[in-house]
Structure 1
Amino acid sequence: MFKNKLVNIMLIILISLTLIGGITLVLINYLSTDNAPYNEPTIDEIIALSYDTPEITTNLKSNDFARIQFKIQVDNKKALSEIQKRNFQLDNIIIRELAGMRASDLAGEEGIEGLESRLKLRFNELMQDGMVVQVYTTGWIIQ
Structure 2
Amino acid sequence: MNKLVKTMLTSLTVILIIGISAFVVVQYVNSDEQSGKTSSIDKMEEYSYETPEITTDLKDGSFVRIQFQIITDGKDAKKEIEKRDFQLKNILIKELATLEEKDFQSELDDLEKHVKTKLNEVMTTGKITDVYTISKILQ
Runs of 4+ residues over 4 Å off in structure 1: none
State the distance in 2 between where 1:107 and 1:64 align: 14
Identify which of 79, 88, 91 aligns with 1:90. Answer: 88
Identify which of 124, 134, 138 aligns with 2:134. Answer: 138
Gaps of 5+ in 2: 1-32
Shift of 1:42: 2.2
Q: Deviations over 1:17-52 (max 9, x none)?
A: xxxxxxxxxxxxxxxxxxxx8x65522111100000
Name the structure with the higher helix share: 2
Residue 23 (structure 1) aligns with: none
Identify which of 61, 65, 70 aligns with 1:63. Answer: 61
TM-score using structure 1 length: 0.69
- The root-mean-square deviation of aligned C-alpha atoms, in Å, is 1.6
Give the 3-state SS of the residue equivalent to 2:102 in structure 1. Answer: helix
Residue 49 (structure 1) aligns with: 47
Moved more, 50-59 or 96-105: 96-105
TM-score using structure 2 length: 0.71
How many residue pairs match? The answer is 105
Give the 3-state SS of the residue equivalent to 1:119 in structure 2. Answer: helix
Shift of 1:105: 1.6
State the distance in 2 between where 1:64 and 1:140 align: 13
Identify which of 78, 81, 92 aligns with 1:80. Answer: 78
Give the 3-state SS of the residue equivalent to 1:62 in structure 2. Answer: coil
Q: Deviations over 1:39-75 (max 9, x none)?
A: 6552211110000000000000000000000000000
State the distance in 2 between where 1:100 and 1:136 align: 19
Identity rate, percent:
45
Q: Does 1:129 align with 2:125?
A: yes
